[in-house]
Structure 1
């Protein structure tokens, strides 16, 4: 587990930017990201903006919904240049198919291939990766914070095929969330601090470096100090 955590430390950005403003009317929803995505890699700084997404026909089956974006990007291409300006390799890809590297010799390699999931129409249009995000192994429970989304009682019931309980839990969770909003409760993030980022010219949430240490200790100190908000502590009547 320790080795796994050490590897993950180098795969995760120090910046967080998951805030989204959403508006809904009739059968249409709009999701507008509020902050840019920031990445520092090998001494270089990168920034890009997430696109605003619109979904029409929300109550229809996935194949009958209309999803569109502002500035949709479907293809990408690029080159790796040497100091002399010569291209040593090229990259190209289509967002939902593949990502290919072509060397100077003409040799091509498929770096990423998006596999079809034959049963996706029966599972909310989810891919294998998406389905795996809700998977909860018994041996993982002890190392998770109580706010991990895999511990949501409605999600667990849905995964286990208990649909009536899933609906009941979802109702109670949303009711508790509305109560917190009405009371204007505010919280201080445990793992991030808000700072002005000069490169992006906006305020960004940056990691305080404490998460991985807490995870390796199975969040024992935070649980002891009641540092976590009990957002999933709701009950239903069967």
Structure 2
């Protein structure tokens, strides 16, 4: 059945594709698709568009879908949860320092799907949402909402029956530097374990897309992450080494040290962000020779390493399906009962997935113009504020998240205010805006 559905899905008729996928969702909830239509072989000169973007913020420049992959940024953000079982395992740890090792592995695992993913996700429309409800089979559910358009920002809230909550608000800053493109995610990620009260915070590293002008595109992750347990003061310092042609080190290397609140090292982490991470318990540490930069190295004596995380095998023919992981292949599959603002219902993205890129580009322009019209009306209403009407009443407010001061960072962030899953249960979507 799934093979027949996949073949029908790749046909050029939208209505039959849609009804086919809806039919699939009525089958077993666990019987999810494992294929999407092959990526068409469209040729487009990346440089012809990018040469006008040097030094600019790319989120403000309209791009054809030819550079995209058929997922939204909200779906890409949800992909952070692909290895959610690491948090499930962390929730069972009685030792907070060992728990921190699993949280660190989870942090690294979120980059593993990016190695060949050179297509950019669709910029979500303001008010667009994406839910992933895997509570029944995998024990977690997640909701994302695009809460700001300029600068583009998405709020994300996930909860698990295993006693963890993950939340983040991520804004993407991107700059084209000529030969390469830098993507800087801004915002703090929080993970709380309800039983212990351990609360971990960290930020993301910079992603770099190389060979924009000539050659094959390739992606690197580089920078440092400090994961801090707010309750205990424990910390994990992770270092993502930038790729160097001249280095004898393994490519995409990640190293880490887990320390307690006194600075004493308890675990060493090592591995790569695209394959696996191991951890080793520290028996003894001592000062070694000075490094090339003049800093004194610390030498750790450890027990034999144990595997923390290993990347799942890529699906067959992943190269013809945008190099999507097994999870990514399921994210844009239509499901009944989701909000009318869900990314899966976005028509330009659906047309692109079905290989109809010319129509997708026209549809993308229509949706963006519709969004601009709504924004102009809102700005016009604000300029005509009547007596007794406050600016707050007219300015844009997200539906499922509200802007409040983060109790930990003291920044103003969008926190989940509840109500989404209750609205889904009742199928009461009356408050949802018409964005598609």
Regarding TM over 0.5, the answer is: yes
Question: Counterparts of 1:55-66 in structure 2 under 5 Å?
Answer: 55-58=209-212, 64-66=216-218
Residue matched to 1:236: none
* Cα distance between partner residues in 1 of 2:134 and 2:425: 7
The CA deviation at 1:164 is: 3.0
Indicate how the Cα distance of structure 1 residues 146 and 201 shifts in structure 2: closer, same or farther if over 3 A, else same: same
Indicate how the Cα distance of structure 1 residues 3 and 189 shifts in structure 2: closer, same or farther if over 3 A, else same: same
Residue matched to 2:207: 53
Q: Conserved in 1, the CA contact under 8 Å of 2:167 and 2:190?
A: yes
Question: Counterparts of 1:87-236 in structure 2 under 5 Å?
Answer: 92-100=270-278, 108=306, 111-136=309-334, 140-141=335-336, 143-183=337-377, 186-218=395-427, 220=428, 223=429, 225=430, 227-232=431-436
Count of matched residue positions in the alignment of Structure 1 and Structure 2: 217
Q: Conserved in 2, the CA contact under 8 Å of 1:54 and 1:69?
A: yes
* Cα distance between partner residues in 1 of 2:170 and 2:313: 27
Residue matched to 2:254: 75
Residue matched to 2:249: none
CA deviation string 1:152-181 (max 9, x = no partner): 112222233333322221221222233344
* Cα distance between partner residues in 2 of 1:49 and 1:107: 26
* Cα distance between partner residues in 1 of 2:192 and 2:211: 39
The CA deviation at 1:117 is: 4.0
The CA deviation at 1:217 is: 2.2
CA deviation string 1:101-138 (max 9, x = no partner): 679996955643331345233222333322222122xx
CA deviation string 1:15-67 (max 9, x = no partner): 3312223345767544322321122223011111112333345587xx81243
Whichever of the two has the greater Rg, that structure is: 2
Unaligned segments of structure 1, at least 5 residues:
233-238
Unaligned segments of structure 2, at least 5 residues:
1-132, 141-158, 225-239, 241-252, 282-301, 380-394
Residue matched to 1:33: 185
Indicate how the Cα distance of structure 1 residues 101 and 21 shifts in structure 2: closer, same or farther if over 3 A, else same: closer
Instruction: Choose from 171, 184, 198 the match for 1:44.
Output: 198
* Cα distance between partner residues in 2 of 1:2 and 1:17: 21
TM-score by length of 1: 0.70
* Cα distance between partner residues in 2 of 1:26 and 1:106: 44
